[in-house]
Structure 1
Amino acid sequence: MRSGEMWRLLSRFNSFRRTHVILQHLRMSKHTDAAEVLLERKGCAGVITLNRPKLLNTLTVGMIRQIYTQLKKWEQDPETFLIIIKGAGGKAFCAGGDIRAISEIGNKNQKILQDFFREEYMLNNYIASYRKPYVALIHGITMGGVSRLKKQLLKCSKGVGVSVHGQFRVATEKSLFAMPETAIGLFPDVGGGYFLPRLQGKLGYFLGLTGFRLKGRDVYTAGIATHFVDSEKLDTLEEDLSALKAPSSENVADVLETYHTKSKIDRDKSFILEEHMDKINSCFSANTVEQIIENLRQDGSSFALEQLKVINKMSPTSLKITLRQLMEGSSKTLQEVLTMEYRLSQSCMRGHDFYEGVRALLIDKDQSPKWKPADLKEVTDEDLNNHFKSLGHNDLKF
């Protein structure tokens, strides 16, 4: 056999082996699932612990399936009165999912990508409609598309999806929230099109388009969390919630409010964006990304110019998708939004910018993605409409 043929065969084998490893990662074995998410009863509470602290508790499709199945069981269990979900290790509640693995499987296996997004969005909707109190302890990182770029840590918005739709969301001084998917050719999914436009003024549009990070009490002030508790009190809070006798939502709310009221950390600190909210409401009220950019230019303040600099680095296609997603989502139900976002997810997985964003920010780390199209003017209405088109029988259905 010639050396050239041998090299091609070896290359093909390595490619097959790599794909097999990625498939295994996305499917996850039962043994690994059991270690990566802990499900236990504590008193009256069903407690979910995302147990991948070294990986900032990122979600896998196997974990999503386990959580969904257990939530179904607990909803029917007369001895389980509330759900508590938290992250192990103290560093993160959940920093997302493995974007790199998703990007590498890419077009090699669309079926897995369909299942991944479909099952996750089903879980997000189930959490929002759960019939028992659901308490998410969003201590640490709760992220969207890109975490700390300096560390090249890319995550997708899975942590947000299993927390923000719950009835109660508890932030601490160590909470960190962001949804900067536009930096990697995506959009703020897992219901971002539902909850972001419902934040005060145009705050959600600003967060979704720029990926701005909120920390500590600001996560509560912005409306992402329903309560704020000192991190050192979380264990005691969990014990008090678990010790309740046949609690109602009102009983759970009373306990959370007691802890919230006693918290003094940053109580008198003003919201980080408070002085900029007039600019945000004014500049981000436009119906096109081009007009938002023009508004920021005309404003000319250091804050506006900083946001302009950030937006100019984002995928033009993602920016236009995101603005339309938020505008349409502002008047849709959560289920309608998730159906829309499922269409968008599959379109992005078939496109160019997501894979290019991951390449530039995570794999080659040159920080210089080559977006296609590279200019907002080149993203036509037809291109945009194609992203939002129905998938027919493949649409997400509830």
Structure 2
Amino acid sequence: MAAEEGLPQFETSADVIVERVGSLGRIRLNRPKAMNSLTHAMVHLIAPALDAFEKDAVIAAVLLTGEGERGLCAGGDIRALYEGERTPDGTGAQFWRDEYRVNARIARFPKPYVAVMDGITMGGGIGLSAHGAHRIVTERSRIAMPEVGIGFVPDVGGTWLLAHAPGEIGTYLALTGEAIGPADAIYAGLADVQIPLAGIPALIDELTQLTPGTGNAAIHTLLAKHAMQPETARLAGHRALIDQCFAGSSVEAILQALEADGTPFALKTRDLIASKSPTSLKLTFRLIRLAREAEGLEECLEREFAAAVAVAQGHDFYEGVRAAIIDKDRNPRWSPPSLAEVDDGNIEAWIQPVADRVFG
């Protein structure tokens, strides 16, 4: 991008395009062939972009979008983590520490932060979007925190977001890893408004013409002008069952409640949960319950970081990535293979903040 005279020059790359268009600061994730999966290098471009946009008096708002037609961001680049250094302060820990700092930065960003959660928006993509002030979904949005399916845990502040979803919806989404559409994303509190994909270019054009100093209330009014009424949330129809069955004091209790309910939805949900990493399920459940009592997002991110570092020293994360991404046999062999064999003492140890904390 050619820098305009008197304006800051933004660091950019092929993978992250940072630019000012009118009064709009734009961050465009640009790895469309990889569904804009987030790398450590990309995090190192997003962080200074936010700093520059905050200081630039011309910038009225910041917009996050993903290039290509497949999605905003499918999550972190887990292949890179799989192939990286597997030590307590190795590839994963270094990436997560910097990523989580950006997640917290977005949550407290002083100017309006708008994210278009079009297409696949999962994992790390949630961290870059759902903490923003204005979260837009389209008719093709698919939103998820699917980490238990690869032997990991909902991170990037996902436990904070899910813990504050209505009723037990967050617990359901965390333990199933289920992908949801735009209506359910709004219902779960992960998004705010649905705008037709065809209307996004006109919205972006109007955002570029905002007056510097525009507040969130004006952005809300602008989005409402372009919004459409979402369909009825699918999860709303199962809310009573979810709230009842997922209120249990353990993963085992939840599975027993689903079994006892016996309806097709309950049994399908039971089987879906049972296919996930037992260790990840127990760790995720504990993180979600603790997040409900947390003072804020950063407390949850700190706990997620400790859990992520611990998981990265174990078996299931690498086995889950192998089965999903490397060999693609979709047949992970979890260790331990059952909930009964998971050491609850380990779960408690893994959620204790590490010495080298994310937030000092």
Q: TM-score, normalised by structure 2?
A: 0.93
Output one character per residue of 1:150-185: Cα deviation in whole Å (capped at 9) or x when no partner: xxxxxxx11110000000001110111011111111
- The superposition leaves residues 332-388 of structure 1 with CA deviations (integer Å, 9 ceiling, x where unpaired) of 110100000010010011011101111222222332222111111111221211211
Q: Which residue is 1:37 aligned to?
A: 16
For residue 347 of structure 2, give the secondary structure of its aligned residue in structure 1. Answer: helix
Say whether the 8 Å CA contact 1:161–1:191 is kept in structure 2. Answer: yes
Query: Which residue among 354, 363, 367 is the counterpart of 2:317?
Result: 354
Q: Look up the equivalent residue of 1:211 and give its one-letter code.
A: G
How is 1:1-398 mapped onto 2 (pairs within 5 angstroms)? 34-107=13-86, 110-143=89-122, 157-246=123-212, 247-260=214-227, 263=228, 267=230, 269-332=231-294, 333-392=296-355, 394-398=356-360
Residue 249 of structure 1: how far off its partner (Å): 1.5
Q: Provide the rounded CA distance (Å) in 1 between the counterparts of 2:233 and 2:143.
A: 14
Distance in 2 (CA, whole Å) between partners of 1:33 and 1:102 is 23
Q: Is contact 1:59-1:98 (8 Å) kept?
A: yes
8 A Cα contact 2:12 2:18, kept in partner: no
State which structure, 1 or 2, has the greater radius of gyration over its C-alpha atoms. 1
SS of the equivalent of 1:139 reads coil
Amino acid of the residue matched to residue 356 of structure 1? E
**Is the Cα contact below 8 Å between 2:302 and 2:353 reproduced in 1?**
no
Per mean C-alpha deviation after superposition, the further-off stretch among 367-376 and 231-240 is 367-376
Q: CA deviation at 1:33?
A: 6.2
Aligned equivalents of 2:130 and 2:183: distance in 1? 15
Mind listing any 5+ residue stretches in structure 1 that lack a counterpart? Answer: 1-31, 144-156
How much has 1:217 moved relative to structure 2? 2.9
For 1:23, the equivalent position in structure 2 comes to none
Partner SS state of residue 243, structure 1: coil
Determine if contact 1:33/1:63 at 8 Å carries over to the other structure.
no
Deviations 1:105-154 (A, max 9, x none): 242684332210000000000000000000001111101xxxxxxxxxxx
Give the secondary-structure state (helix, strand or coil) at the position aligned to 1:46: strand
Cα offset for 1:41?
0.6
Give the whole-Å Cα distance in 2 for the aligned partners of 1:354 and 1:368.
Answer: 13
SS at match of 2:90: helix
Deviation at residue 220 of structure 1 after TM alignment? 2.1
Q: CA deviation at 1:221?
A: 2.8
- Using structure 1 for the length normalisation, give the TM-score: 0.85
After superposition, the CA RMSD in angstroms is: 1.5
- Percent pairwise identity: 37
